[in-house]
Amino acid sequence: MAQKTQVGIIGAGPAGLLLAHMLHRQGIGSIIIEAQTREAIEGTIKAGVLEHPTVQLLDELGVGERMHAVGFEHHGIELAFGGKRHRIDLHELTGGKSIMVYPQHEVIKDLVAAVLANGTTIEFGVRDVALQGIEGTRPSIRYTLDGEARQIECDFIAGCDGFHGPSRQAIPAALRVEHLKTYPCGWFGILCEAPPSSDELIYAQSDRGFVLVSTRTPTVQRMYFQCDPSDHVDNWSDERIWAEFHARTEGSDGWRLKEGRIFQKGIIAMRSFVCETMQHGRLFLAGDAAHIVPPTGAKGLNLAAGDVVLLSGAIVDFYRDNSHQSLDSYSARALKRVWRGEQFSWFMTTLLHDFDGEDTITRRFRRAQLDYLVSSRAASTSLAENYVGLPFEGSA
């Protein structure tokens, strides 16, 4: 069976869904194909923090209602080290900006509902996806659904299929440069039934390793501790997990994490990855398909949103003015913001994690940098403006 549309989108993550929704609002048709089921994408626990520009974007697109109703707007974060906590007042330092703690799978639910309501097709559970003809003017995507061979003929293909998807590989190896850094640690993430331990997120550095204290709802908390990336969740009993959290976070002020029943555990790898270029012929990559950050800066989903703002704008320009100009410069413009986010994520990661085998001077530099960050307004402002998110290109 062959279908025709203007933009064929591979992947119903934040990038693919946002793109379909933005294109529809400009009268441009698309079809999304997704390897997983709707239940799986709406239930997978991933990122938790939306930057200020991402919140604004979701509002502008009319999909921010539930986010404001059940998400939590935070005006600051805390950096904990040396047994003390230090507040970074994001709101004051950035002229009134904030972040929203609202889980990625809730964003996905909102976007799936909006995309289906506007009549866009999402085909779930596809297999054997192959991109064809991207160097010509009428590319196509071949795949199977329930064993039946299918095809989408389109003007453009948007590769929004995450780090492991096939789109990036469709760019000839000789035409792309892949930059990769693997960190010698992972994050052990838990969800637990407990009240919040803090009104704001805590990024804690200690000699035993990093901890992030985040939240989901008044009764469910999200927390992470730095671990060996080859470790296994079965090695960690609940007692051992809580003992490690306490050992890394307790200081002189008497503050103590609140415990509760742990109902989800998982280990996340830490990588910095960028594929240059993000386009070839009629194929355009967006989000994790082109770049990955370690989670410390909370940037992954937000970088995907930045790509989509540029890509949708470029596709709209093409259909409105018959102009290739914005499309031709998509990768160069997107990569500027991506490299900023990558550098900030690396900075936060190396600032807050201790790595085995480090020399003592590196550890002392880390402490000096942390002291500077919380005592200098210029340094705190730099951290704050990166954390709340730099404006998307073309927006205020």
Residues that bind ligand FAD (CB under 6 A): 10-16, 33-36, 41, 46-48, 104, 126, 129, 160-162, 165-166, 268, 287-288, 295, 298-301, 304
128: left (phi over 0), alpha (psi -120 to 50) or beta: left
CB-count burial class (<10 Å; 0-12, 13-18, 19+) for 146:
exposed
Three-class HEC string of 115-140: HHHCCCEEEECCEEEEEECCCCCCCE
Residue 121: cis peptide before it, omega within 30 degrees of 0: no
**What's the min distance (Å) between Cβ of 322 and ligand DHB?**
41
Rounded to 5 degrees, φ, ψ at 373 are -60, -40
Q: What residues contact residue 96 under an 8 Å CB cut-off, 6+ apart?
A: none
Torsion sign across C-alpha atoms 103, 223, 289, 351: positive
User: Which of 11, 13, 48, 159 is the binder for ligand DHB (CB under 6 A)?
Assistant: 48
Q: Binding partner of residue 13 among ligand FAD, ligand DHB, none, CB under 5 to 8 Å per kind? A: ligand FAD
List the one residue out of 386, 366, 369, 346 whose CA is nearest residue 183: 346
Partner touching 35 among ligand FAD, ligand DHB, none, CB below 5 to 8 Å by kind = ligand FAD
Could you give the string, one character per residue 232-271, with x where binding to ligand DHB holds by CB under 6 A and - elsewhere? ----------------------------------------
Contact residue for ligand DHB among 54, 206, 214, 302 (CB under 6 A): 214
> Nearest distance from residue 82's CB to ligand FAD, in Å?
25
Q: Does 52 bind ligand DHB (CB under 6 A)?
A: no
Enumerate the active-site residues.
74, 203, 295, 299, 387
Quick one: which of 17, 31, 32, 49 contacts ligand DHB (CB under 6 A)? 49
Distant-in-sequence, close-in-space partners of 103: CB < 8 Å, separation ≥ 6: 45, 46, 47, 48, 216
Q: Which of ligand DHB, ligand FAD, none interacts with 294 (beta carbon under 5 to 8 A by kind)?
A: none
- Confirm or reject binding of residue 285 to ligand DHB (CB under 6 A): no
47 binds ligand DHB (CB under 6 A): yes
